[in-house]
Amino acid sequence: MPIYILLIDLRKAFDSVSHQALFKRLREIKLPSWFIQYLLNFYQSATVTIKCADGETESIPINCGVLQGDPLSPLLFNIVFDIALRDLGSAVRAFADDLALTATSLRNLQTAANEFQEGISTHGHPTHMVPRYILESG
């Protein structure tokens, strides 16, 4: 029986995490309220400035995405992303923003890809899947 594997890269995955979905998920997994409030304060006050030849912009609030360079960001990303992965069960393997979907037919592979895309959108994670390769084994 053949096995089909779809290798996918999630484009702008860390940048697309909804803050609302992130904090909803943190409450769902019952993290201590003081910790959630600490992160909420941190995220609500996060800003960025852009430096260019003419100077620097005013502070721009960061309204979505996990914070670049923050050691907690990969973990926070995984907490939000995990719920979409669970819906697919053993048909998916993931590492950060790269994943592999497996199926025994191309039709089932397409179904798994559609379900995953719907799952990440439903859970406040509207990333764009970029298929890299479809491999066939057997």
Q: Indicate the burial class of 110 (C-beta count within 10 angstroms; 0-12, 13-18, 19 or more).
A: middle
Q: How confident is the model at residue 31 (pLDDT cuts 50, 70, 90)?
A: very high
Q: Give yes or no for residue 126 having a pLDDT over 70.
A: no
Q: Give the residue carrying structure tokens 């890809």.
A: 113
Selected residue with higher pLDDT from 83 and 75: 75
Q: How confident is the model at residue 56 (pLDDT cuts 50, 70, 90)?
A: very high
Look at residues 77, 80, 66 and name the one whose alpha carbon lies nearest to residue 29: 80
Q: Give yes or no for residue 98 having a pLDDT over 70.
A: yes
Q: Give yes or no for residue 49 having a pLDDT over 60.
A: yes
Q: Give yes or no for residue 5 having a pLDDT over 90.
A: no
